[in-house]
Amino acid sequence: MNALNISAERLEHLRHLEAHLCEQIRGQDHVIPRIVAALHRGELGLTSSTRPLGSFLFLGPTGVGKTETTIAFTDYLLGGEKLFRFDMSEYQTQESVAVLIGGRVGEVGLLGLARSKSATGTLLFDEIEKAHPRVLDLFLQILDAARVTMASGDTLDLSAFYIVFTSNIAASEILTLQHSSFTTMERHVLTKAQRTLRPELYARIAEKLVFNRLSYDVQMEIARFHISRELSFLRDKGFHLIAGPQVISFVMQRGFHPRLGARPLRDAIEKHLRGAIADATFAQVRSSTLEFVVCANELVVRPSDPNTRSAPIP
C-alpha cells in the first residue's frame, strides 16, 4: 500500500485504532502504543517489501489478552476472516513441517491454503516455544524474506501479512514476581525468552512485548466490558435485558482467577447469563424488559420493575 494513495477515510480509521484496542483489551495499555505504531507503519506501506508487514512476539501468562489483541487488531484492520491461527502444540514433530507446507508435490499445506484464501492477513502462531526446530526454520524464512517454499515447489509471498507469535515463556515468574516493578519483570521475561528461543529467530522479530498479569480491579473492568457485550449479544437475539452491579459481583466470585487471567471470567459470564436466559425461556417469563438478579445464590431473570430496578451497568 502506498501511503500517498491512502484514502482520507482509511487514515481516519487508522487514527482510531489505538482507542479501539484500548477499549477491547484491558490492563495492557503499556503495549498497545507499540503495537499500534507497528501496525500504522504496515498499513501505510512504510515497511520493507521483502519482510512481513509486521512481526510480534507476545509474552505473558495465559488469559491476559495476547490472542485477543491479535484478534482485535486483525478484525479492525482487515476483517475477522483474515486471521489464520496455528496452535504450535500440534506441531512438535518433524512431520509437522509437511502439515504446514505440504509433504509432496501437489500439496500446499495449511500455509498454502491460508494464502490461497487471502492475499493479506495475520498469521498467528500460538505457543511458539512448543514448535519443532524444523518448523522454526520456516519462521526464519518468513521473517527474513516473507517467503516460504512449499512442497509443490511454489513460493508463497507473505509480505502482506502480519506475523504474531505468542508464548507463555516465564509465565510462572510473572505471577510470582508480584512485588517487583513491571520493568524488572519485563526484563526478566525478555531475557528468558531470548535464552529459550533460537537467537536468530528472536532477533528477526520486530516487536517483543510482555503482557502484564491481570489484577482483581482490571478483571472487574473486563467483567463489566464482557457483561455489556453479552447484553448486546442477547439483545440481538431479541431479549431486552438489563443487569446491575450485583451481576458483576456474582460473576467475579465464580470467574476471577489470579493465575488463569480473564478466560475463566469470560466463560462464567457466558455460562451464567445465557443459562439464566435459557431457564427463563422454558419458564415462559415474559416482559417488555427483563432483569438479571441474584436469587438463592443463582443468577436468574425476572420481569423488570421500574420501582425496584437496579442501576444498569454503564
The Cα 24–Cα 37 span in angstroms is 17
Structure confidence at residue 80 (pLDDT) = 94
The Cα 262–Cα 134 span in angstroms is 33
The Cα 270–Cα 233 span in angstroms is 10
The Cα 241–Cα 232 span in angstroms is 9
Structure confidence at residue 88 (pLDDT) = 97
Structure confidence at residue 2 (pLDDT) = 47
Structure confidence at residue 1 (pLDDT) = 44
Structure confidence at residue 105 (pLDDT) = 78
Mean per-residue pLDDT of the chain: 90
pLDDT in tens, 43-67: 999 999 899 999 999 999 999 999 9
pLDDT in tens, 208-218: 999 998 999 99
DSSP state of 3: G
Whether the per-residue pLDDT at 3 is higher than 50: the answer is no
Helices (H), 5-162: 8-15, 17-24, 32-43, 66-77, 96-101, 109-117, 133-145
Whether the per-residue pLDDT at 314 is higher than 60: the answer is no
Q: Return the C-alpha cell found at 271.
A: 455460562
Cα four-point dihedral sign 20, 25, 28, 32: negative
DSSP state of 5: G
Structure confidence at residue 181 (pLDDT) = 82
Structure confidence at residue 137 (pLDDT) = 94
Give the residue-averaged pLDDT of 113-135: 96
pLDDT in tens, 153-209: 889 999 999 999 999 998 877 767 666 788 888 999 999 999 999 999 999 999 999
Structure confidence at residue 44 (pLDDT) = 95
Q: Return the C-alpha cell found at 169.
A: 515463556
Structure confidence at residue 313 (pLDDT) = 60
pTM of the model: 0.89
To the nearest whole percent, how much of the chain has pLDDT over 90? 71
Whether the per-residue pLDDT at 312 is higher than 80: the answer is no
Whether the per-residue pLDDT at 229 is higher than 50: the answer is yes
Structure confidence at residue 5 (pLDDT) = 79
To the nearest whole percent, how much of the chain has pLDDT over 70? 94
Give the residue-averaged pLDDT of 3-31: 92
Confidence of residue 133 (pLDDT cuts 50, 70, 90): very high
Structure confidence at residue 108 (pLDDT) = 85
Whether the per-residue pLDDT at 310 is higher than 80: the answer is no
Question: Which residue's entry shows cell 436466559?
Answer: 277
pLDDT in tens, 67-108: 999 999 999 999 999 999 999 999 999 999 999 999 887 788
Q: Which amino acid is at 299?
A: L
Question: Which residue's entry shows cell 509437522?
Answer: 96
Show the domains of the chain with their CATH numbers.
Answer: 3-210 (3.40.50.300), 216-303 (1.10.8.60)
Confidence of residue 33 (pLDDT cuts 50, 70, 90): very high
pLDDT in tens, 271-285: 999 999 999 889 888
Confidence of residue 131 (pLDDT cuts 50, 70, 90): very high
Helices (H), 165-304: 171-176, 182-196, 199-204, 216-236, 245-255, 263-282
Strand, helix or coil at 142? helix
